[in-house]
Every structure is written in C-alpha cells, then in structure tokens.
C-alpha cells in the first residue's frame, strides 16, 4: 500500500514539472530548443496524470476491507 502512495506522489511531481515546463515557455516560440522543452512539458504532464491515476487505483485495489459481520436477532 505504501508503494501505491509513492507512485501517486511521483505522478503529482511529474504533473507539476510538466506544468512548469509547459507554461514557462511563451506560445509561438521558433527556437527549436524552447519548443522541445514545451513539448516535453506536455508529455511529462500527461504522463504524470496517468501515473497519478495508476497510483490511486493501486491504492484502492490493495485496500483491505473489514469482513462483513452480520448480526441476527432471534
């Protein structure tokens, strides 16, 4: 369960890094290096969303649910 939380945290960091890389470059840049950074930011941000979702799903799948206790009054 701790691994899934770690994966979700890595995804959040990836998403934040992608946002910074994408929005730190102005729209319409012609310099190839800046365009590469902006495109890499897009890829890292979208990948970060997927990794975060994977971590959340792993957490929910591995969560232990208490057994159902039924009480009957006779």
Calpha distance 30→24 (Å, rounded): 15
In this prediction the pTM is 0.78
The answer to whether position 7 is within a domain reads yes
* Residue 70 maps to a domain: no
Give, as one character, the DSSP assignment of residue 70: -
HSE-CB of 8 using CA atoms within 13 angstroms: 12
What would the pLDDT profile of 9-66 be if each residue is shown by its tens digit?
999 999 999 999 999 988 887 889 999 999 999 999 999 999 999 999 999 998 877 7
Residue-number span of the structural domain to which 20 is assigned: 2-62
Residue 1 binned pLDDT confidence (cut-offs 50, 70, 90): low
How many domains are there within the chain?
A: 1
Q: Locate the DSSP E strands across 6-66.
A: none
Is the predicted pLDDT of residue 74 greater than 70, yes or no? no
Helix/strand/coil percent split, the chain, to 5: 70, 0, 30
- The residue to which tokens 């290096």 are assigned: 33
């Amino acid at each position: 369960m701790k691994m899934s939380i770690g994966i979700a945290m890595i995804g959040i960091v990836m998403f934040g890094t992608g946002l910074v890389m994408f929005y730190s470059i102005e729209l319409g840049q012609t310099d190839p290096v800046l365009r590469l950074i902006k495109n890499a930011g897009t890829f890292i941000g979208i990948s970060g969303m997927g990794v975060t979702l994977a971590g959340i799903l792993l957490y929910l799948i591995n969560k232990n649910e208490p057994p159902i206790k039924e009480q009957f009054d006779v």
